[in-house]
Amino acid sequence: MIGLLDKPTAGKVFIDGIETTTLNDNEISSFRNSKLGFVFQLANLMPDLTVLENVVLPRSIQKTEQNSVDDALKLLRAVGLEHQIHKRANKISGGQAQRAAIARALVNKPSIVLADEPTGNLDSITTETIIQLMKSMARKLNQTFVVVTHDREQFGEVDRVITVKDGRVFETESKNMELVA
């Protein structure tokens, strides 16, 4: 529901104070591109585009290309891909593709980043770098990261953890925040 990929059968979904359940398909696409970042388990890069072109793509769609290459290059440096920017996406490793996908998800500075096993294909050193980047972005840009993971410990201290078991909330723990039901 948060990713606006499905509509609720009951109730409403508000993101950044906007009721998203009343948006039409074009409005949903625009909203998703500007307010949401997605990191899928598989990178889902465009294979014929370069790494840099893949990261800039959300800005191109949004038609806000000012500083897009500079911003993309900063993110690619942050994820350790500065030497891969001109390679086609189908010519890089799975771990490199995942890092490019993370940079792509962050380039529009979305309010919410939805990440499904974002470090699943990465080695332990790169995993730590990516987790620190996500935490840094969350603090600097006041972003919310919703991360699905089977390895909770690798994320260390976070503001809130919701454990889901068999499709239901099993346990909720939070640090320094009031839970709203």
Each domain of the chain, given as residue ranges in start order, spans 14-174
Find the length of the chain. Answer: 181
For the chain, the average pLDDT equals: 86
Q: What is the CATH number assigned to the segment(s) 14-174?
A: 3.40.50.300
- Helices 94-106, 51-62: crossing angle, 10 deg rounding: 20
Q: How distant, in Å, are the alpha carbons of 89, 123, 128, 160 from that of 79?
A: 15, 13, 10, 24
If you average pLDDT over residues 104-113, what whole number do you get? 91
Q: pTM, whole model, 2 decimals? A: 0.82
Residue 38's identity, in one-letter code, is: F
What pLDDT was estimated at residue 53? 95
What pLDDT was estimated at residue 176? 57
CA dist 157 and 113 (Å) reads 18
Q: Which position has the higher pLDDT, 104 or 128? A: 104
What pLDDT was estimated at residue 133? 83
